[in-house]
């Protein structure tokens, strides 16, 4: 018995040594990557109470859809609290594959002919005072979806005559006939986001073109539209490039500019290069103010529709 016990101990000891040797010499080394920690200024309180709670209940009760919720916007409480919300039309699949956006990419789905009415009714039910309407890119459609845009604006005006509108439109590939369809229904503000600086456009927006977006904004302004654009910062741009982009936008007549921090939606999207400080955003606002913009929103949590209701004043 003593012999068997000793043999078991020896075999166990040998096994432990063999496993230790295997781990030391053959096991792959696991590399632990550090996760970039968001700074305190990007943390927000959970929305709740007042008008926000009322609107959230209406959204749930009637099965309404807003980008505010689906996009997990950090400003949802503040915006809903003053009666502002953003709606997306044209389906849930975009024909472009921008590296910052979490909307699904693929072939465009058939347009929902009832969508203009549904959006108009959502605005009515929620009691929206200022609505922002945006859309996916529909390069698959002959008119780029511009007629659907016009129908949506007209339907909103029919059922909500007191509601003001901002249309955050795609570039329609620079097609002026398609832009004219939006201009014809005369939304209070027409917005088209440049998103990033010239050097990074091909990487960030892929199918879009910096100069084409500038031409679209100029065309809109020349046709009498109040125009607006937006920049996401923290993608690798330099201060000099930010200043240059602000100057380019102002040169084509853009009235309103928003600047906010880019946040990576998922691991497959473009990585955050840096977190821009509130002090830096304040500096960029000073630059834009000095260039003559009518309204400037600049801060870490700013999104293109942030304080949208104030941009009319």
Cβ–Cβ under 8 Å, residues 275 and 39: yes
pLDDT above 60: residue 1: no
Tens of pLDDT, residue by residue over 106-149, are 777 899 999 999 999 989 988 888 899 998 888 889 999 999 99
Going by their DSSP bridges, the two strands 130-135 and 227-233 should be labelled as: unpaired
Q: Would you kindly state where each structural domain of the chain is located, as residue ranges? A: 40-312
* Residue (of 299, 287, 200, 297) closest to 250 by Cα position: 287
Cβ–Cβ under 8 Å, residues 123 and 103: no
pLDDT above 50: residue 11: no
Mean pLDDT lowest among 85-94, 128-137, 161-170, 246-255: 85-94
* Residue (of 228, 246, 229) closest to 238 by Cα position: 246
CATH class, 40-312 region: alpha beta
Three-state secondary structure readout of 97-164 = CCCCCCCEECCCCCCCCCHHHHHHHHHHHHCCCEEEEEECCCCCCCCCCHHHHHHHHHHHHHHCCCCE
- The residues that bridge with 84 in the sheet, in sequence order, are 130
Task: Please give the structure tokens belonging to residue 5.
Answer: 């016990």
Nearest 5°: phi and psi at 184? Answer: -60, -30
CA angle 263, 264, 270 (to 5 degrees): 120
* CA dihedral for 127, 304, 99, 208, sign (positive or negative): positive
- Separation CA 202–CA 208 (nearest Å): 7
* Residue (of 191, 195, 171, 169) closest to 270 by Cα position: 195
Tens of pLDDT, residue by residue over 156-203, are 999 999 999 999 999 999 999 999 999 999 999 999 999 999 999 998
- Separation CA 197–CA 47 (nearest Å): 33
Q: What percent of the chain has pLDDT over 70?
A: 79
Average pLDDT over residues 2-24: 46
User: Is residue 107 helix, strand or coil?
Assistant: coil
Nearest 5°: phi and psi at 195? Answer: 70, -50
Average pLDDT over residues 207-215: 93
Number of H helices, E strands in the chain: 11, 9
Task: Please give the structure tokens belonging to residue 269.
Answer: 């999207």
- The residues that bridge with 166 in the sheet, in sequence order, are 132, 189
CA angle 170, 176, 177 (to 5 degrees): 105
pLDDT of residue 296: 96
Task: Please give the structure tokens belonging to residue 98.
Answer: 């921008």
- Separation CA 213–CA 228 (nearest Å): 12
Give the H or E element holding residue 16: helix 2-25
Say what the pTM is: 0.81
- Separation CA 75–CA 70 (nearest Å): 13
- Separation CA 8–CA 54 (nearest Å): 72
- The residues that bridge with 135 in the sheet, in sequence order, are 89
Cβ–Cβ under 8 Å, residues 246 and 287: yes
């Amino acid at each position: 018995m003593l012999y068997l016990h000793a043999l078991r101990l020896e075999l166990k000891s040998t096994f432990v040594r063999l496993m230790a040797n295997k781990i030391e010499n053959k096991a792959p080394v696991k590399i632990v990557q550090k996760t970039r920690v968001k700074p305190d200024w990007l943390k927000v309180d959970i929305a709740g109470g007042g008008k926000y709670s009322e609107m959230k209940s209406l959204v749930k009760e009637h099965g309404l859809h807003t980008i505010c919720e689906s996009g997990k916007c950090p400003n949802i409480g503040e915006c809903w609290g003053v009666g502002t919300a953003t709606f997306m039309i044209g389906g849930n699949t975009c024909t472009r594959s921008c590296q910052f956006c979490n909307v699904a990419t693929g072939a465009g789905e058939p347009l929902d002919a009832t969508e203009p009415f549904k959006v108009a009714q959502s605005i009515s039910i929620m009691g929206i005072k200022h609505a922002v309407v945006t859309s996916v890119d529909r390069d698959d459609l002959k008119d780029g979806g511009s007629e659907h845009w016009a129908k949506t604006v007209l339907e909103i005006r029919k059922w909500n005559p007191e509601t003001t509108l901002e249309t955050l439109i795609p570039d329609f590939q620079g097609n002026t006939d398609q832009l004219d369809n939006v201009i014809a229904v005369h939304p209070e503000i027409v917005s088209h986001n440049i998103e990033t600086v010239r050097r990074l456009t091909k990487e960030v927006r892929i199918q879009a073109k910096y100069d084409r977006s500038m031409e679209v904004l100029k065309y809109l302004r020349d046709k009498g539209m109040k125009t607006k654009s937006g920049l996401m910062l923290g993608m690798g741009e330099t201060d000099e490039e930010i200043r240059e982009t602000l100057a380019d936008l102002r040169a084509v007549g853009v009235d309103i500019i928003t600047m906010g921090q880019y946040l990576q939606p998922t691991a497959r999207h473009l990585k955050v290069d840096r977190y821009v400080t509130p002090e830096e955003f304040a500096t960029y606002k000073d630059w834009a103010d000095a260039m003559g913009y009518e309204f400037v929103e600049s801060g870490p949590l700013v999104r293109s529709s942030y304080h949208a209701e104030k941009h009319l004043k």
